[in-house]
Every structure is written in C-alpha cells, then in structure tokens.
Amino acid sequence: MAAIAAEAIGLLADSERLQLLRRCANPACSMLFLAENKRRRWCTSNICGNRARVARHYERTHTDRDGGV
C-alpha cells in the first residue's frame, strides 16, 4: 500500500507525467493510464480498444441495407 501511495505522490508532483494521465475512452471503463503515445485512447488496446473496434465494425456492417423492414 505504501508503494502505491508513493507512486501516486510522485505522479501528482511531476507536472510532465501528470499531463500524460488520461481516462480510458471506453465509457464503460473507469481506468486511468499514462499515455506515453499522444494517440493512445484506451487503457488496454486488447480489451477496451478491441471492444471499440468491434462496435465500429458492427455499426458499419449491420446497418439496415434494404431501407427498412
């Protein structure tokens, strides 16, 4: 527990690292992460990022193609 507290204090005291702190772009996720890459949007690309990609693909491929039923 002390190690986690020390890391949190170190993060809050370092303004450069604090600027890298982001919330995951997945609305169902509450994780925070340090984004070393400016394009990073998700806490983990293989879980939250994959879910976003799957949802985008589903929207593209499962639209109502015949104009309404």
pLDDT of 35-56, one tens digit each? 988 888 999 888 888 888 888 8
Average pLDDT over residues 10-34: 90
Q: Mean pLDDT throughout 29-34?
A: 92
Percentage of residues of the chain with pLDDT beyond 90: 28
Residue 66's pLDDT is what? Answer: 53
Tokens standing for 62?
Answer: 């499962």
Work out whether the CA dihedral 41, 42, 46, 52 comes out positive or negative: negative
pLDDT (0 to 100) of residue 69: 46
User: How far, in Å, CA of 67 to CA of 7, rounded?
Assistant: 55
User: Residue length, the chain?
Assistant: 69
Q: Give the residue carrying structure tokens 């190690």.
A: 3
What pLDDT digit, counting tens, does each position of 5-20 carry?
A: 998 899 889 888 889 9
- Sorted by where each begins, the domain ranges of the chain are 2-61
CA distance 6 to 30: 22
